[in-house]
Structure 1
Amino acid sequence: MHILEFEKPVAELEGKIEELRHLSDSGEVNIAEEVSKLQAKVDKLLRTTYAKLTPWQKTQVARHPQRPHALAYIQALIEDFTPLAGDRLFAEDQAIVGGLGRFRGRSVVVIGHEKGHDTDGRIRHNFGMAKPEGYRKARRLMELADHFQIPVVTLVDTAGAYPGVDAEARGQAEAIARSIDAGLNLRVPFVSTIIGEGGSGGAIALATANTVLMLEHSVYSVISPEGCASILWRSGENAKDAAEQLRLTAQDLLKLGVIDAEVPEPLGGAHRDVPMIVQTLGNALEKALGDLSGIEGGVLRARRREKFLEMGKVGLS
Structure 2
Amino acid sequence: MATVAHLDFERAIAEVEEQIDSLRGLARERGLDVSTELRSLERKLHGLKQDTFRNLSPIERVQVARHPRRPYTLDYVEMIFTDWVELHGDRQFRDDASIVAGWARLGGETVMLIGQQKGRDMKENLRRNFGMPHPEGYRKALRFMKLAEKFGRPVVTLIDTPGAYPGIGAEERGQAEAIARNLREMSALKVPTVAVVIGEGGSGGALAIGVADRVLMLENSVYSVISPEGCAAILWKDGAQRDKAARAMKMTAEDLSELAVIDDIIPEPAGGAHSDWEATGARLKEVLQKHLAELGAMETDALLQARLDKFMGMGQWRTGR
- TM-score category of the 2 structures, normalised to the smaller one: over 0.9
2-structure distance, mates of 1:194, 1:315? 30
1-structure distance, mates of 2:15, 2:92? 53
Report the count of equivalent residues. 317
Residue in structure 2 matching 1:87, options 87, 90, 95: 90
Over 3 Å counting, the alpha-carbon distance change for 1:147 and 1:28 in structure 2 is closer
Residue in structure 2 matching 1:179, options 179, 182, 185: 182
2:280 is the counterpart of 1:277? yes
Which residue number corresponds to residue 59 of structure 1?
62
**Deviation of residue 50 (structure 1)?**
0.7
1-structure distance, mates of 2:300, 2:207? 21
Over 3 Å counting, the alpha-carbon distance change for 1:260 and 1:136 in structure 2 is same
Residue in structure 2 matching 1:206, options 199, 202, 209: 209
Which residue number corresponds to residue 308 of structure 1?
311
**Deviation of residue 314 (structure 1)?**
6.0
**Deviation of residue 12 (structure 1)?**
1.2
1:108 alignment partner AA: V
**Deviation of residue 139 (structure 1)?**
0.9
Which residue number corresponds to residue 223 of structure 1?
226
**Deviation of residue 31 (structure 1)?**
2.4
SS at 2:217 equivalent: strand
**Deviation of residue 220 (structure 1)?**
0.5
Which residue number corresponds to residue 140 of structure 2?
137
1-structure distance, mates of 2:215, 2:318? 21
2-structure distance, mates of 1:156, 1:315? 31
Which residue number corresponds to residue 30 of structure 1?
33
1:196 alignment partner AA: G
2:151 is the counterpart of 1:148? yes
Provide, for residues 132-191 of structure 1, a one-character-per-residue CA deviation record: whole Å limited to 9, x for no partner: 000001111111111111100000000100111111111111111111111101011001
2:256 alignment partner AA: L
2-structure distance, mates of 1:81, 1:304? 28
2:242 is the counterpart of 1:236? no
Q: Calculate the TM-score normalised by the size of structure 1.
A: 0.97
2:19 is the counterpart of 1:16? yes
Provide, for residues 21-76 of structure 1, a one-character-per-residue CA deviation record: whole Å limited to 9, x for no partner: 22111116432222221111111111011111000000101111000000111222
Q: Structure 1, unaligned stretches of length 5 or more?
A: none
CA RMSD, Structure 1 to Structure 2 (Å): 1.4
Q: Structure 2, unaligned stretches of length 5 or more?
A: none
Which residue number corresponds to residue 254 of structure 1?
257
1-structure distance, mates of 2:315, 2:94? 35
Which residue number corresponds to residue 111 of structure 2?
108
2-structure distance, mates of 1:78, 1:26? 40
Q: Calculate the TM-score normalised by the size of structure 2.
A: 0.95
2-structure distance, mates of 1:50, 1:294? 36
Residue in structure 1 matching 2:194, options 178, 191, 194: 191
Which residue number corresponds to residue 286 of structure 1?
289
SS at 2:30 equivalent: coil
Question: Percent of aligned positions with the same letter in both sequences?
Answer: 48
**Deviation of residue 124 (structure 1)?**
1.3
